[in-house]
Each structure stands twice: as structure tokens, then as C-alpha cells.
Amino acid sequence: MRCVALNILEMTYDEFLMAIKDLGLERYRADQVLDWVYKKHIFVFEKMTNLSKEHRNLLARNFSIDLPEALDKRVSPLDHTTKYLYKLQDGNTIESVLLFHEGYATACISTQVGCPVKCSFCATGKSGFIRNLSAGEIVSQILAIENDTNQTIRNIVYMGMGEPLLNYDNVLKSVRVLIDEKTKNVGVRRITVSTVGIPDKIVRLSQEGLDLNLAISLHAASNEKRDQIIPMNRRYTIEEVLHAAKIYQENSDRRVTIEYILIREFNDFDEDARRLAKLLKGMKVFVNLIPINPVVSNMERPTQWKINRFKEILLESGIEAEVRYEKGADIEAACGQLRIRHLQK
């Protein structure tokens, strides 16, 4: 008998099946338990009524189902964006966001406690980096949101706190857990991994046999400017990142999303738009233009005319682009804001 209970959310279907068989239970018991957890949102073994009392007690002694505790929840009266501050088992905190669109909802989930990348426009890095999340802690955010809202989440973006590709193994394991038909059964093409750009990890991701959506946080069209807002660009240049993105496209045949935060009188000039179009020429991309959420006091949004002009130049250059205003600005839904306020208390 195990001395330490295993968190079911950390386990792939095959791993859980093996653990169930090690306890002397029939393999279909694994399916029953996972159905309760992932489909019915039952997280206490004694409530799994199609299992005998003896089996429920055996499961409770050997397994756990660890969900984070919600310390704070904010709902936007404008667009219903819902932001959570969660406490993990070790007391650390992370954020998750539920975004509502016409006909569906998207969960934006975290992959690290804090972030080591420290982009100048992002609040997450200002609170420092503590550790990577485990696969189970990543998966648990989805279940916790669903349990609170009764929403079935079919769209997931790894775009919360942290750099997903710096927690590669746990992120990929969580993806494999979530797409399994025995668990959440999320369509792999409904999952997006957003990265600031780690070239070797992007290439590795292209070799996983998964049709994940890839989003790259570029945010500048020259290394000189990107160096100023994304310190990691001094290690991985724009050219290296986009070369890896091209390899990803070749191996996956997926369109890559380019995220570009527009900052007034910094990266919003016509020459920036033209340079960006030149960099992306020949790639199958879609550019999300994001007027900055003013987390940093010395960074402001461009005028609406400037925003529209930037988009117009991209479109005229044959680059698909759209302006995306961040949801939940009225509830501090940008990454890291709620956590910083909690840490400052």
C-alpha cells in the first residue's frame, strides 16, 4: 500500500490505469473514476456511487484529487471576464482567467508561479519567479473553473502567468492529459501555447505530433526595440524565433499567431508596421494587434488613428491582422496584477 497519495490530476490515462491495476482493481474502474472527476466534477471518492464502499476507501487511501483554493474572484460587469487568484497546496498563488466569446468560453491558464522572463509591460515578472507548475496544477485550473461556473471549457490558452516553454515537460504532459478522450477530451486544435519565443523548444514542439496552435509574443519588429521590452531577446533574436516558427509551420501546417502589443511612440510607427510585414512575408500568420493594458505607468496606448493605421499597413502588405482589445481591463485581468495586489497585503 502506498504511503503517499498520488494526485490523479498529475497522471495520464495510461499511468492511472497502471496504478489502478497495481491495486488489484479491474481496468474499467479507472474509466469510472475519471468520468466522475473530469465529466461530473466529483472530487471526493465517497461520492462516486457506482463504486463499492470498499473500493472508494481503497481509492481514498491511495489517491488524491488536488484542486487549488480560490482566494479571490472578480467578474467584469462589462464582458463577464472572470479572473481567479488560486492558492496551491504549498501556499503559492497563481492566476487563471475565463474569457467569454460568442458561443464559447476560453480558459487562460498559468504554467509557472511568477515568471523569469520579466517583460517590461507584464505585471507577472514584477513579482519574481518561484517555480514551475506541475502537470496536475496546470490541469487543475481547468477543473476548478468549470466547477465554479458550470461552463464546459473547450478552448484553452497557455497564456497566463509564466513562460510555457520554460516548463516544457509539464506543459506537454498537461496537454496530453487534457486531450485524452478518457479525461477532458479537448480538441488539440482548440489549445494554444503562447511563448515569447524559445527556438529550440518551438522546434521540439513541432516534433511532438500534436496540432497545437502556436502564438508568439513578438511585440517589436527590430531587435533593438525588442531588447528593451523583452530581455530574453538578447539571447534569442527575432530572426531565430521566426526561423523556429517557420519550422513549426512546416512540420504542423498550422498558422502561427503573432502577438504584437502596441505601445505609444515606441513600436507603433509606420516603419515598425512595414518592418513587421517584411519579417513575416511568406509565412502563414495572423497578427493580433493589442493596444497595451497600461500596467506600467510610462507605457500608453497609441491613438485609435495610429492603431488603425498600423493594421492598414499590414493588410496592404498581405498580412492578416486584427485589433484585439484585452478583456477584463476593469477587473485587472492582465497577467499578474491580482497576484501582486495579494502579495502586497
332 among known catalytic residues: no
The active-site residue, picked from 95, 137, 163, 259, is: 95
Q: Directed axis angle between helix 238-252 and helix 270-280, to 10°?
A: 40
Residue 230 DSSP code: -
Is residue 108 annotated as a catalytic residue, yes or no?
no
CA angle 177/178/183 to nearest 5° reads: 80
**Beta carbons of 233 and 274 less than 8 angstroms apart:** no
Bridge partners for 258 per DSSP: 216, 287
Residues 6+ apart with CB under 8 A from 91: none
Question: For residue 312, what is its C-alpha cell?
Answer: 492598414
Residue that is written with C-alpha cell 499578474 in the block: 336
Q: For Cα atoms 251, 191, 312, give the angle at the middle one, nearest 5 degrees.
A: 80
- At position 104, the amino acid (one-letter code) is Y
What b/e sequence results for 189-204 when a residue is b if at least 16 CB atoms lie within 10 Å of its CB, and e otherwise? ebbbbbbbbbbebbee
What are the catalytic residues? Answer: 95, 335
